[in-house]
Amino acid sequence: MKMRNPPVNSLSLEFLTELLISLEKLENDKTFRGIIITSDCPGIFSAGLDLLEMYGRDPAHCAEYWKAVQELWLRVYLSNLVVIGAINGISPAGGCLLSLSCDYRVLANNPKYAIGLNETLLGIIAPFWFKDVLVNTIGHRAAERALQLGFLFPPSDALQVGIVDQVVPEDQVQSTARSVMAQWLAIPDHARQLTKNLVRKPTADRLLQQRDADIQNFVRFISRDSIQKSLHVYLEKLKQKKG
Ligand SMILES: CCCCC/C=C\C/C=C\C=C\CC(=O)SCCNC(=O)CCNC(=O)[C@H](O)C(C)(C)COP(=O)(O)OP(=O)(O)OC[C@H]1O[C@@H](n2cnc3c(N)ncnc32)[C@H](O)[C@@H]1OP(=O)(O)O
Closest C-alpha residue for ligand 1 atom 12: 49
pLDDT in tens, 30-47: 999 999 999 999 999 999
pLDDT in tens, 170-195: 999 999 999 999 999 999 999 999 99
Threshold 0.90, pTM exceeds: yes
Q: What is the ipTM of this complex?
A: 0.98
Q: Please report which confidence band the pLDDT of residue 232 belongs to, taking 50, 70 and 90 as the band edges.
A: very high
Which entry of 19, 23, 49, 122 is annotated as an active-site residue? 49
Could you please report the per-residue DSSP string of the chain? -EE--TTTT-B-HHHHHHHHHHHHHHHH-TT--EEEEEESSTEES---B-GGGTSS--HHHHHHHHHHHHHHHHHHHT-SSEEEEEE-EEEETHHHHHHHTSSEEEEE--TT--EE--GGGGT----HHHHHHHHHHH-HHHHHHHHHHT--B-HHHHHHHTSSSEEE-GGGHHHHHHHHHHHHHTS-HHHHHHHHHHHHHHHHHHHHTTHHHHHHHHHHHHHSHHHHHHHHHHHHHHHHHT-
Pick the atom of ligand 1 nearest to 43's CA. Answer: 36
pLDDT above 70: residue 243: no
Mean pLDDT of 99-108: 98
Which entry of 5, 118, 122, 147 is annotated as an active-site residue? 118
Tell me the domains of the chain and their CATH numbers.
1-239 (3.90.226.10)
Mean pLDDT of 54-63: 98
Closest C-alpha residue for ligand 1 atom 40: 238
